[in-house]
Amino acid sequence: MDCDFDAIIIGGGPAGATAALLLARLGWSVALIEKNTFPRPKVCGEFISATNFPLLMNLGLMDFYQQQAGPSIKRVGWFGGEKSLTATMPAVNHSCGQWGRALGREYLDTVLLNEAKKAGVTIWQPCTAQQIMDKKNYFVCLIETKKDLQELTARTVVIAQGSWEKAIIKKQQTPHKNLDLLAFKTHFRETTLEEDLMALISFPGGYGGLVHSDNDRVSLSCCIRRDMLQKIRANHPGQSASEVLLEHLFLTCRGAEQVLASAKQEENWLSIGPLRPGIRYCYGNGLFYVGNIAGEAHPIIAEGISMAMQSAWLLAITLSKGPANSRTDLINRGVDYSKKWHQQFTLRIRAAAFFAHLTYHPRSMRLLLPLVARFPELLTFGATLSGKKRQLQLLS
């Protein structure tokens, strides 16, 4: 059967838009379905590691990134309790620089989608994918526009929805748990955070990060366990969750209080949740998965954007010979992509889980902070373990 497209990609964030752009440049006809109108902000730490520089150059986005992103992050910090510790950020040898920088999703996602459109990708936006039907040799995707329902056909389907989005492939619902992580984000101006420092913030029941981003803004993103948020809200009736969280952060993390005490909050808080960090699946039942829906690291390591874009690159390598000509071929490519994905990301996802559980437990913090104060190079080692030097091998 002649299909409408070689590939349908569901989700227009960094993973989906990167996959669409790369496949289009390989000669594929691609449709991308995105439910939201851009630009739009997202709950995201915004940091992009220097390991992504070769990929940004390949995509033609390096000039935009250098012009729009915040300052180079040369140091990593840890603010916890009464202590504020810093160390050198691992450097990457690249012609465009050694250190990563932060860029808001409202800018990154928009430019990626525009580049995909220039490359020939058909963009359906705002539009919702309602159903995927497997016809053995091809797939039918039912989409809902503002006007009607339409069917699109393709031999390859890529799911690039965020992990907290309503899944198009129905899965068993996970009940709410006390240990669920709820995420919050906002921006500040006029902080005293040093420009070259990205600081991890630890507080009872959660963790967060502070980094200078685009347009002279400082991004604060943080996660807190559901049970801890409920506990502190019970002590402050009438206050919003974000207000209570910020007060909790100031009371328990002196470094965060110091850099934000006189700052001006730029906009209302964004929130999402629960986050589901962990390794899920890269391929199943003929469908490929990229970005957070394939696997998600705890945000503590600030690798979400980098991992999303890199997973799209790994998929593009896997599909570089053209659309699969049979279901067996599709399965073989799924196995190949899964292998590449696990080689690139499994260690950092496990390291992120280890770091997260260490830092938001008061007892482990009391043990770790004096140790890191004595050996600050442990912060550099932790950043390396989280993927700050693990570059992709790009193919020409």
Q: Tell whether 227 is covered by a domain.
A: no
Strands (E), the chain: 5-10, 30-33, 47-48, 75-80, 83-88, 101-102, 122-124, 128-134, 139-144, 149-159, 181-189, 197-203, 206-212, 218-225, 264-265, 270-275, 278-279, 283-284, 287-289, 295-296
Q: Tell whether 215 is covered by a domain.
A: no
Q: Tell whether 265 is covered by a domain.
A: no
Q: The whole model's pTM is what?
A: 0.94
Q: Tell whether 351 is covered by a domain.
A: yes
What are the tens digits of pLDDT across the range 318-359? 999 999 989 999 999 999 999 999 999 999 999 999 999 888
What are the tens digits of pLDDT across the range 115-125? 999 999 999 99
Tell me which DSSP letter residue 291 carries.
Answer: G
Q: Tell whether 97 is covered by a domain.
A: yes
Q: Tell whether 329 is covered by a domain.
A: yes
pLDDT value of residue 206: 96
Q: Could you list the residue range(s) of the whole structural domain that residue 66 is in? A: 5-171+276-388
Number of residues that make up the chain: 396
What are the tens digits of pLDDT across the range 184-232? 999 999 999 999 999 999 999 999 999 999 999 999 999 999 999 999 9
Confidence of residue 164 (pLDDT cuts 50, 70, 90): low
pLDDT value of residue 393: 63
pLDDT value of residue 81: 93
DSSP class per residue in 378-390? HHHHHHIIIIIT-
Mean pLDDT of the chain: 93
Q: Let me know: does 364 contact 308? Beta carbons within 8 Å.
A: no
Indicate if the pLDDT at residue 94 is higher than 60: yes
CATH for 302: 3.50.50.60
Cα torsion angle, 367, 368, 370, 375, sign: positive
Q: Let me know: does 390 contact 344? Beta carbons within 8 Å.
A: yes
Please give the distance of CA 94 from its chain centroid, rounded to a whole number. Answer: 23
Indicate if the pLDDT at residue 303 is higher than 50: yes
Confidence of residue 173 (pLDDT cuts 50, 70, 90): low
- What is the CA angle 193-197-198, rounded to 5? 100
Q: Tell whether 185 is covered by a domain.
A: no
Q: Tell whether 337 is covered by a domain.
A: yes
Provide the domain count of the chain.
1
Cβ neighbours of residue 333 closer than 8 Å, sequence gap 6 or more = 283, 318, 319, 324
Which stretch of 36-40, 92-96, 264-268 has the lowest confidence by average pLDDT? 92-96
What are the tens digits of pLDDT across the range 247-277? 999 999 999 999 999 999 999 999 998 998 9
**Whose structure tokens read 């009464």?**
82
CA dihedral 354, 357, 358, 364 (to 10 degrees): -140
